[in-house]
Structure 1
Amino acid sequence: MTNQDLARDIIAGVGGDENIATLQHCSTRLRFTLADDSRVDRARLEALPGVLGVVVGPQTQVVVGAKVADVYRAVERERSPKDVVAKRQPLTLKRAGSVFMEFVVGVFTPIIPAIAGAGVFKSLLIAAVALGWVAKDNPTYLTLVAIPDAVFYFLPLLVTFTAARRLGVNIPLALGIVGLLVFPGFSTLVTNGTSVFGVAVPAVSYGAQVFPPILTVLLLWAVEHWVTKITPAPIRVFFVPLVCIIVVAPAMIFLLGPLGFWLGSLLTGGMLWLHGTLGWVAVALLAGVLPFIISVGMHKAFIPPTVATIAETGRESFYNVSSLAHNISESGSSFAVAFRTKNPTLRATAISAGVSALFGITEPALYGVTLQNRRALIAVITGAVTAGAYLGITNVVSFVAVGPGLASISMFVDAENPWNLVNALVGAGIAWAVSFTVCFVLWRDSASTTLRVLGENADVAAEASVQDPAAVRATTGASVQLQAPLTGQLIPLSQVDDAVFASAALGEGVAIVPTDGRVLAPVSGEIVSLLPSRHAIGLRTDEGVEVLVHVGIDTVKLAGTHFEAHAGQGDRVAAGDLLVTVDLDAVRAAGYDITTPVVVLNSEAWEVAPSANGSVEAGQPIATLTSSKETTNAAS
């Protein structure tokens, strides 16, 4: 699937072009503000090749990984310009939080490359000084270090630009007003003490500050919007900016600037207090919960205080350090999955995700590997907490606001303390080794792994079908009755028009050409997998039998259309319980074969003896499954 094809499918999945109010992207996600969130077809989006995950809410996020910029451009090419107004929704706490997050992402994400590039460049210069390659008072060093210093000094202007663009404010006007805060002449006056009409101007240094410009642009947005509405069109070109300057600039000097500086100091103090109070425990705990924070996009809320902390103190020892432990743990766990799994698709995904996480981008690992597999997630948390504890105990600090990883490891270079980088490397090594080891020991392929492959590519499922025979203990000779999940015509599996099923590569079983769309549980047990497309259901009995009911051939492409689930993954069901209903006529009209294979995935441990042929009724016994060897407990 090309990026353009994926873009068209994503647009359809979020309710169509006419439903998109705004679109922006961060390092791995497309972030949509929609006119109506209820029109999002989550199952359809999650079934798309190339989509790693979906978060639906006041801001719908579609995770596509490292190619997000290319997909974003493809979506923008597909969209036709139009004004879409998001449906007004009640202001709840959740809604307010989502609006805040959307604003934070819109303001800070575009400036991260400048901050990260400048920060890493400065850390390399510091490393050169630490290694004795250049003196700190050398003209070459002083000139080169002025480059990243300028980026941070003029950070208020970068924030002003992105905030003004996000709010639709006149950008040159916003830059002109906020520019006063970093104007050398004004800075000199403030330092020496100055006043306006006898009122002293607060002595605040605004270099590298982010909150004063944000508050100023928010006020400018309100003033500009109101004045534009009441001003006659012929004089707007000069009158609106004049009023804005007269109102906003003094408010910025006396109120918003100092208030923003105080807010930044408060957040900085809060992070320092939390770290100072809990010490290494805070780092370890944050590292352990980051998988869940990142999965819903809430990690972006850490950007402002992290930037503010580095701007004020020159270093940061909480979020960045915890992120290092988590990022590298995601990599270690992913590589362990790649080593252990017999599923070639999952192996390729895990290798790619492991490399990406090693360089600081964790969403591919989170959505492609660890959040889908509890054992892998346990390994990530174990590695992150262990490494976070070490990094916290050894007081590792960072000097750059960038995602920690192999490429940005110089962010931990400290010319005055060489052990800071050494401990950061040791902590990263601990994270990788612990998560890799734990995942390597715990991992096993399961029926749900095979089902995910079926949802992606049935052609490679045959290669991925080697099941771990371990299930729940059953003695040789134990038997289980397999019931018909559908009413219809029973046929041998070999007659299914799909090589994977017909060859019994996934396991032995039978197939039914259904005449009724009610899909019942063929055995009693737990639903271990129910794909978002709802066409494939995996069950595991207490005796350890793993059964797959696959409704139709290639029906994953319908992305859940014409299917309705009546149970969920993790539910316990009895044989004969309703699992799914499907509109067979609609599926057939869409050009799909409705033949439904019923397969025993671990048939190497169970002999399958069909006990019926011809027409069958749903719930009628169709096969007897007899344990052919003793199995051991490995329940998920």
Structure 2
Amino acid sequence: MNEKKVAEQILKAVGGDKNVSHLEHCSTRLRFTLVNDDQVNVEELKQIPEVLGVNQTAQCQVIIGNSVVEVYNELKKMLTQKDPSADNKKDKKLGTVLLDFVISIFQPLIPAIAGGGILKSVLMLLNMLGVLESTTQTYQILNFVGDAPLYFLPLLVAITTANKLKVNSLVAVSAVGGLLIPGLAAMLGEGAALFSFQLQNVNYTYQVFPAILCILCYAQLEKFFTKISPKVIRTFFVPMMSLLIVVPLTLLVLGPLGYNFGQGFASIIIAIFERFGWIAVAILAAFLPFMVVTGMHKAMLPYVITSLGQSGSELIYCSASLAHNIAEAGGCFAVALRTKDKGLKATAISSGISALFGITEPALYGVTILHKRALYGVMIGSFIGGAYLGITAVEAYVAVGPGLASLSMFISETLPNNLMNAVIGLVISFVASFAAVAVIWKESTVEEAVKDPAEELACDEILTAPLEGQVIPISEVKDEVFSNKLLGDGFAIIPTKGEVYAPADGVIEMIYDTKHSLGLKTASGVEILFHIGIDTVNLKGEHFEPMVEVKQQVKQGDLLLKFDLEKIVAAGFDPVSVVVITNPKKVQLNFSNTDQVKKMDSVLTLSEGVGV
């Protein structure tokens, strides 16, 4: 993969660097906070072969897979340093803004918390096996190392919050660090007063919300004092005045407020578990496919991190996530066993292996969400596995994606059966999902996508040949994005003539910059993508000549694009051209009984999909 090139294409499709307010990444996807969401060209993003999927919620999420870090690094080099606040005039819903804020603060914390937590769980495992006694100084020192991310969690939160708010992160850390000084903690324990006001005894280590409120206040103070102070004294005056106000204010008001909110927040979640018991874990596990696809699972991060910081354990989300992750694996392996589609079989096997280790995006976007029966089976397996984990009250001690490699996150010094129950729940989730998908799976001409019923095809659509040549199944195309039907189902043609025709009346929706690809929306609402050649994007428009413009109305048989077939082949590119039905996916594809087609030959009839 050429990460730099992919980064350039993605940045252009999201509206350029001026439209990017904030960028971060998780294990498989890039997460953009944008100035104007309307500037995103989703279809252009989906055409990038390395992009597995696109999801727009509070953030624009671009699913990359295992190369996400490399693409992220290239994007960071391309983004100009700017203050986007002056440009961000677009009104956004409060819920969207809050979710974006939460994700931006908590998502970057996961690697440090997970690394420290796994270290502590490995130490407990070594102690259980008698390899390293917990009474030794070596064990205790390494345990301090593992505990450090949670102990100093307020400082980490200060950094991520300051980065999100675009203020000085070092001053932010200093403000929160003032709350953690051992001498101050001792004074609070004995009873302390500030300006004659009694201070609440709060232990700010392991806390999240006091730090967030502190930095929210500091951000406003920094902007205010920067605006009013003379430039000659700004270097010391702004941080001095900000610290002088924000730290006392946090001790008096913001800190106790954040601490009590955190206590109440965690108590509500625990109360839900105590009220509904195992059913809460089972239902959450069953609905995680939808939450992960939309990015809403990140809204659980504050609870998970708060729970770990306050009690050292968490017993709802991580258990549900374990059940779902392993159910995705079981479902994928069942699909691999039952399907006759070689491309889908390969995708299901690789995605199933990733899901076993806690990475579910390949399984979700490559298999589950595209195939309704697989989704139902995964939900069944997740529910059953989640029910067992909920009944046995399995606790997690690390905030990391549960899977085979991270099972040590369930090791407990006080609950000897906790790990065993987690393993049993893992097995139940896998077996239940595998069995459910294997039983209900049904091969069809085209699997139905899980989508809004409003997007279904209103009437049959007859398509004529968009190119002249030999028709081949899309599964035989030597490009996994197309052969695995990540963009949708369709067919391919090995062209004998360098011309692309409109297969139906419609309007041109998109012409790719490098001219090798264009999109058409038919009069009945079918969206069709034409992609000429494999990897021909590298020709940068050479040998391609569009004959239409975006938004132009066309009639069936009109010439859309000319390309020099001989020169493309001479340049070493595979000329096979792909025709993808990108929307709707819930359709039945009925091909004509012909291998060779010419202009105006009927090649395909689209009918409304039938339930599977």
TM range (shorter): 0.7 to 0.9
Further displaced range: 150-159 or 54-63? 54-63
Alignment equivalent of 1:212, drawn from 195, 210, 213: 210
User: For the Cα contact (< 8 Å) 1:227–1:240, is it kept in 2?
Assistant: yes
User: For the Cα contact (< 8 Å) 1:13–1:45, is it kept in 2?
Assistant: yes
1:485 pairs with 2:483: no
Structure 2 counterpart of 1:254: 252
Matches of 1:349 and 1:270 in 2, distance apart?
A: 40
Please tell me the residue identity of whatever aligns with 2:221.
V
Once the two structures are TM-superposed, the CA of residue 555 in structure 1 deviates from its matched residue by 9.5
Matches of 1:140 and 1:598 in 2, distance apart?
A: 60
Once the two structures are TM-superposed, the CA of residue 120 in structure 1 deviates from its matched residue by 1.0
Secondary structure at 2:340 match in 1: coil
Alignment of 1:163-182 (within 5 A): 163-182=161-180
User: For the Cα contact (< 8 Å) 2:179–2:247, is it kept in 1?
Assistant: no
Q: CA distance change for structure 1 residues 250 and 395 in 2, over 3 Å: closer, same or farther?
A: same
Matches of 2:427 and 2:253 in 1, distance apart?
A: 47
Secondary structure at 1:414 match in 2: coil
Please tell me the residue identity of whatever aligns with 2:20.
I
Structure 2 counterpart of 1:472: none
Structure 2 counterpart of 1:56: 56
User: For the Cα contact (< 8 Å) 2:153–2:205, is it kept in 1?
Assistant: yes
User: For the Cα contact (< 8 Å) 1:587–1:594, is it kept in 2?
Assistant: no
Matches of 1:292 and 1:256 in 2, distance apart?
A: 35
Q: Deviations over 1:472-530 (max 9, x none)?
A: xxxxxxxxxx99634999x7x6599x9979xxx99999999999736179xxxxxxxxx
Secondary structure at 1:588 match in 2: strand
Once the two structures are TM-superposed, the CA of residue 98 in structure 1 deviates from its matched residue by 2.3
Structure 2 counterpart of 1:330: 328
Please tell me the residue identity of whatever aligns with 2:349.
I
Please tell me the residue identity of whatever aligns with 1:194.
A
If the length of structure 1 is used for normalisation, what is the TM-score? Answer: 0.76
Once the two structures are TM-superposed, the CA of residue 57 in structure 1 deviates from its matched residue by 4.7
Alignment equivalent of 2:561, drawn from 587, 591, 613: 587
Q: Which runs of 5+ in 2 are unaligned?
A: 450-459, 478-482, 484-489, 507-516, 569-574, 582-587
Q: CA distance change for structure 1 residues 553 and 65 in 2, over 3 Å: closer, same or farther?
A: closer
Matches of 1:69 and 1:614 in 2, distance apart?
A: 45
User: For the Cα contact (< 8 Å) 1:164–1:217, is it kept in 2?
Assistant: yes
Alignment of 1:152-301 (within 5 A): 152-301=150-299
Matches of 2:313 and 2:580 in 1, distance apart?
A: 59
Q: CA distance change for structure 1 residues 322 and 495 in 2, over 3 Å: closer, same or farther?
A: closer
Secondary structure at 1:66 match in 2: coil
Please tell me the residue identity of whatever aligns with 1:7.
A
Alignment equivalent of 1:440, drawn from 438, 441, 446: 438
Alignment of 1:109-124 (within 5 A): 109-124=107-122
Q: Deviations over 1:360-387 (max 9, x none)?
A: 1211211122111111111111110000
Matches of 2:405 and 2:258 in 1, distance apart?
A: 33
Once the two structures are TM-superposed, the CA of residue 226 in structure 1 deviates from its matched residue by 0.8
User: For the Cα contact (< 8 Å) 1:563–1:583, is it kept in 2?
Assistant: no
Secondary structure at 1:118 match in 2: helix
User: For the Cα contact (< 8 Å) 2:29–2:68, is it kept in 1?
Assistant: yes
Please tell me the residue identity of whatever aligns with 1:517.
A
Matches of 2:580 and 2:101 in 1, distance apart?
A: 49
Matches of 2:48 and 2:444 in 1, distance apart?
A: 22
Alignment equivalent of 2:418, drawn from 413, 417, 420: 420
User: For the Cα contact (< 8 Å) 2:53–2:62, is it kept in 1?
Assistant: yes
Q: CA distance change for structure 1 residues 419 and 240 in 2, over 3 Å: closer, same or farther?
A: same
Q: CA distance change for structure 1 residues 412 and 24 in 2, over 3 Å: closer, same or farther?
A: same
1:347 pairs with 2:321: no
Alignment of 1:327-476 (within 5 A): 327-448=325-446
User: For the Cα contact (< 8 Å) 1:564–1:582, is it kept in 2?
Assistant: no
Alignment equivalent of 1:519, drawn from 491, 500, 504: 504
User: For the Cα contact (< 8 Å) 1:36–1:87, is it kept in 2?
Assistant: no
User: For the Cα contact (< 8 Å) 2:501–2:599, is it kept in 1?
Assistant: no
Q: CA distance change for structure 1 residues 177 and 533 in 2, over 3 Å: closer, same or farther?
A: same
Q: CA distance change for structure 1 residues 515 and 280 in 2, over 3 Å: closer, same or farther?
A: closer
Matches of 1:224 and 1:162 in 2, distance apart?
A: 16
Matches of 1:375 and 1:43 in 2, distance apart?
A: 26
Which structure has the larger Rg over C-alpha atoms?
Answer: 1
1:40 pairs with 2:40: yes
Q: Deviations over 1:282-326 (max 9, x none)?
A: 000000111111111111111111111121122111111111111
Please tell me the residue identity of whatever aligns with 1:424.
A
User: For the Cα contact (< 8 Å) 2:465–2:597, is it kept in 1?
Assistant: no
User: For the Cα contact (< 8 Å) 1:588–1:594, is it kept in 2?
Assistant: no
Q: Which runs of 5+ in 1 are unaligned?
A: 452-481, 522-531, 540-547, 567-577, 626-632
User: For the Cα contact (< 8 Å) 2:342–2:475, is it kept in 1?
Assistant: no
Matches of 2:421 and 2:330 in 1, distance apart?
A: 18
User: For the Cα contact (< 8 Å) 2:378–2:433, is it kept in 1?
Assistant: yes
Secondary structure at 2:405 match in 1: coil
User: For the Cα contact (< 8 Å) 1:338–1:351, is it kept in 2?
Assistant: yes
Q: CA distance change for structure 1 residues 141 and 564 in 2, over 3 Å: closer, same or farther?
A: same
Q: CA RMSD in A?
A: 4.3
Aligned residues with identical type, % of pairs: 37
Matches of 2:319 and 2:252 in 1, distance apart?
A: 36
Q: Deviations over 1:507-562 (max 9, x none)?
A: 999999999736179xxxxxxxxxx975799x9xxxxxxxx999685499799x97
Structure 2 counterpart of 1:69: 69
User: For the Cα contact (< 8 Å) 1:6–1:50, is it kept in 2?
Assistant: yes
User: For the Cα contact (< 8 Å) 1:333–1:435, is it kept in 2?
Assistant: yes
Secondary structure at 1:587 match in 2: strand
